[in-house]
Amino acid sequence: MHTFTGLMTASLGLINDMSPYLVFGFLAAGLLKVFLREDLVARHLGRHDFKAIIKASLLGIPLPVCSCGVIPMMLGLRKQGASKAALCSFMISTPTTGVDSILATFALLGGFFAGFRVLATFLVAMIVGAAALLVPDVRRDGEKEGTEADGCCCAEKPPEEKACCAAHKASVGAKLRQALQYGFYDLLKDSGRSIVLGIFIGGVITYFVPASLVEHYLGKPWLSMLIMLVIGIPMYVCSTGSIPVVAALMMKGLNPGAAFVFLITGPATNAVSFAVMAREFGIKSMLIFMVSLALAALAMGALFNVAWGFWGTPGTLFMLPHHMAGMPVWVNYISSGVMAGCIIFSWKKFRS
């Protein structure tokens, strides 16, 4: 009984710290989905050049899409004319961050970690996209070349292609309802399980795993970064759900660079995404994607270890860090209740 109580206390501590930021993050995610036109995204990713890579890397950062959810999005953008290099960058920056994940990182790991995560994700996406330029973008039958002038919402389009026009002509109230449904139902239907699992694993690590064990096996920078790289690349990990796991491991002695490598490679890739990329872009492009991602992630992890030594916050950085000290406790509890209710509701509706 004492063990169960301790485990629940550790897990609830993680939930309370993350929930205010998750509520705001999922709301912002819904607003982005409703008010950011998908054809606007597609039209800027059409060229197989460095300019499109920059745009794809920036556009993907705020979008709250996981590494599996980004696959159909990538396929749709490809059909709309997006280039291979741009999509390689997009497939890194989109699932690795997102407004909900950035705010959750801030909640548990602090502002320095969250800021560096955004910057490093952008740089890794740029490196992977630039590596993709080494292979010509040969399009399959039925795919079109994208241009910056393309768009779906125009008067000349046939009726069946005007759905996006109708969606964006909806009233502000209707759009807000769509945003709430997407943020607190559709997104949670896909990512809620990963968030709950991540919080539970974080609680298990916090309560059961001795610090000496993590320090012995994962305390050495390069060895631990390689281990987290091997674990993260083939594994499906939600960018938000992975944060409490990493926070718990860092409390036990995992060096920050290794945690950072996992937060980049885990959400960015999985076995399914590699299979789809091999089919769509070719095995050579998929291998270039994998190798460039691995090297870039290790480089960012090493850079983060150096930066952490100069600017990182020593001591107790997690579990109600200093920047959250002024937040009323009731806000945490209400936010936790909202998140729990929305997750349960989304699961119940999904099963029915």
What total number of domains does the chain contain? Answer: 1
Residue 202 in contact with residue 248, Cβ under 8 Å? yes
Task: Give the tokens for residue 299.
Answer: 């480089």
Q: What is the pLDDT of residue 121?
A: 93
Tell me the torsion sign for CA atoms 105, 109, 114, 119.
negative
Q: What pLDDT, on the 0 to 100 scale, is given for residue 300?
A: 94
CA 40 to chain centroid, in Å, comes to 21
Question: Which range marks the domain in which residue 6 is found?
Answer: 2-351
DSSP-derived secondary structure letter, 144:
-
pLDDT in tens, the chain (352 residues): 567 677 777 677 767 766 776 777 677 767 767 776 666 666 777 777 888 899 889 988 887 776 666 776 777 677 767 888 888 998 899 888 888 788 888 888 888 888 899 999 999 999 999 999 988 876 654 454 544 444 444 444 444 444 445 555 667 788 888 888 887 887 777 667 767 776 777 677 666 766 566 666 676 788 889 888 888 887 767 777 778 888 888 887 788 889 889 888 888 877 767 877 888 888 899 899 999 999 999 999 999 988 887 775 543 344 334 344 445 777 888 888 888 888 888 776 655 5
Query: What's the CA dihedral at 281, 283, 285, 286 to 10 degrees?
Result: 100
- Which three-class secondary structure state does DSSP give residue 75? helix
Q: Which residues of 254-288 are buried (b: 16+ CB within 10 A; e: fewer)?
A: bbbbbbbbbbbbbbbbbeebbebbbebbeeebbeb
What HEC string does 148-217 produce? CCCCCCCCCCCHHHCHHHHHHCCCHHHHHHHHHHHHHHHHHHHHHHHHHHHHHHHHHHHHHCCHHHHHHH
